[in-house]
């Protein structure tokens, strides 16, 4: 069972916590993580690209010249795909890229990434984030004290306006909730900062 230090927002160690092996101590399954990541990115696609076929392009209603006798190739419309200004043959049309991934696979992918954060020492646990006001400077100081540098994802057990709004103007820092985390964010942000309450909730949800 992995054990990790717990700090306060001053950066001082206050205790340690044992993390559940089945969530923070499994061998990461890279294949499943990749599969779930591709699914997430596919589901984000809008699929609104569209081209006009020859029937949708304006003009071209009249045959440009008679069928025979001109010495030129026969043509039925100046809006055929091979004409400049003509329609597009086999071009993209609006479609949905969404598809579903098994729920067990999604949960395994989350557990795999959480475990990899522990293995790579990219997980920081704080006892709490006691922000009494919305102030970006307070969050900057807290992250500095915790020696967290670079892209950082802060996962909260529930909505906390003071913490969320204090972090939203810091470049490379994002807040998320236990019930909204996804593989993409966990991989995109190098550092993961969670509170003790977040640890308990993660263990409840993903156990």
**Is the distance from CB of 100 to CB of 60 less than 8 angstroms?**
no
DSSP structural state of residue 174: E
Does residue 1 carry a pLDDT above 80?
no
CATH of domain 3-29+98-206: 3.40.1370.10
Q: Where are the alpha helices (DSSP H) in the chain?
A: 21-24, 30-44, 103-119, 136-145, 161-167, 183-188, 196-206
> Which of 2-11, 98-107, 172-181 is the least confident region?
2-11
The 10s digit of each residue's pLDDT in 116-149 is 999 999 999 999 999 999 999 999 999 999 999 9
Helix (H, G, I), strand (E, B) or coil at 25: coil
% of the chain beyond a pLDDT of 90 = 92
Cβ atoms of 151 and 172 within 8 Å: the answer is yes
Is the entire prediction scored with pTM above 0.85? no
Question: Given this model, what pLDDT does residue 172 score?
Answer: 95
Domain ranges of the chain: 3-29+98-206, 46-96
Residue 45 DSSP class: -
């Amino acid at each position: 069972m992995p054990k990790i230090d717990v700090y306060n927002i001053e950066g001082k160690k206050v205790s340690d916590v044992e993390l559940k092996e089945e969530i923070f101590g499994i061998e990461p399954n890279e294949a499943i993580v990749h599969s779930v990541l591709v699914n997430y990115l596919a589901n984000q696609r809008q699929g609104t690209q569209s081209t006009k076929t020859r029937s949708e392009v304006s003009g071209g209603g009249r045959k440009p010249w008679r069928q025979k006798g001109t010495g030129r190739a026969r043509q039925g419309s100046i809006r055929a795909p091979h004409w400049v200004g003509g329609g597009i043959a086999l071009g993209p049309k609006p479609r949905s890229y969404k598809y579903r991934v098994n729920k067990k696979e999604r949960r395994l992918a989350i557990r795999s990434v959480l475990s990899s954060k522990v293995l790579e020492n990219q997980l920081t646990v704080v006892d709490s984030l006691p922000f009494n006001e919305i102030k970006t400077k307070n969050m900057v100081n807290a992250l500095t004290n915790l020696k967290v540098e670079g892209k950082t994802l802060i996962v909260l057990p529930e909505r906390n306006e003071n913490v969320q709004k204090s972090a939203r103007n810091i470049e490379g820092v994002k807040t998320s909730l236990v019930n909204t985390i996804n593989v993409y964010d966990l991989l995109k942000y190098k550092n993961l900062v969670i509170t003790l309450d977040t640890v308990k909730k993660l263990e409840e949800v993903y156990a």
